[in-house]
Amino acid sequence: MSVHVKICGVTRVEDARAVWAAGADALGLNFYPRSPRFVQPEVAAALARTRPALGAVVGVFVNESPDVIRARVRDCGLTAVQLHGDEPPEACAGFGVPVIKALRVRGPEDVERARQYMGVGDVATLLLDGAAPGYGGGGVTFDWSLVAQLVDVGVPVLVAGGLTPGNVAQAVRATRPYGVDVASGVETSPGIKDLEAVRTFIRSAKTVNLWERHT
């Protein structure tokens, strides 16, 4: 069994095609207007049309209105939404697709906060991110030992924040997550993916054999 990989903040159709070809399981499209990875809805729809049959297209939102999120799901062909802002548990439902709730991890108190989202609304997955300034895409890691308290308690966990081709295998071995997610660690500049780095990242992540037990 290998880990799932989501490549976040893709902005160009040619990059999207290459990301799928490299073996990604999910593509993240950023709808936060202040992100350097923001895509207009028409561009997002074109990116989503590159989706292979088994791939997921995740719309990333920060404190966005539910009506706008529903419109983007409908018009851009999103298969999941990622709520990456300060959304409370009760805001994580009603979009017609599964929700990934992202939380920035500073310490054990954030693990407790994450528990409040488990089994609530349409939260199908938690994404644990580093606590860089801003909301996401900051290239900052967190204490991976905290993930152990959330893995295997019912909701799949994605580990994010500061992952690179050089450290992702270590992150997978340390946390044994459902998946990993990366934005800045595989870019030449924000929103422009370094396709060789994407390939190395996916190969490094997926080569870790999660069937093997810890000793």
Ligand X SMILES: O=C(O)c1ccccc1NCC(=O)[C@H](O)[C@H](O)COP(=O)(O)O
Q: How far apart are CA 78 and CA 88, in angstroms?
A: 22
Is 76 marked active-site?
A: no
Other CB atoms within 10 A of residue 71 CB: 12
CB of residue 91 to ligand X, shortest distance in Å: 16
Q: How far apart are CA 100 and CA 195, in angstroms?
A: 25
CB of residue 209 to ligand X, shortest distance in Å: 24
CB of residue 64 to ligand X, shortest distance in Å: 11
CB of residue 215 to ligand X, shortest distance in Å: 30
CB of residue 175 to ligand X, shortest distance in Å: 14
Q: How far apart are CA 129 and CA 135, in angstroms?
A: 9
Own/partner long-range contacts of 170-174 (Cβ < 8 Å, ≥24 apart): 171/141, 171/144, 172/3, 172/205, 172/208, 172/210, 173/208, 174/144, 174/145, 174/147
**DSSP output for 164-192:** -TTTHHHHHHHH--SEEEESGGGEEETTE
User: Phi and psi for 63 in degrees, rounded to 5?
Assistant: 50, 40
131 versus 151: smaller Cβ distance to ligand X: 131
27 versus 53: smaller Cβ distance to ligand X: 27
* Residue of 15, 110, 129, 181 marked active site: 129
Whether residue 150 contacts residue 142, with contact meaning beta carbons closer than 8 Å, is answered with no
Other CB atoms within 10 A of residue 45 CB: 17
Is 8 marked active-site?
A: yes
The secondary structure of residue 26, as a DSSP letter, is E
Q: Which residues are at the interface with ligand X (CB under 6 A)?
A: 8-9, 28, 30, 32, 35-37, 60, 62, 84, 129-130, 135-139, 160-163, 181-185
Other CB atoms within 10 A of residue 207 CB: 12
Active site residues: 8, 129
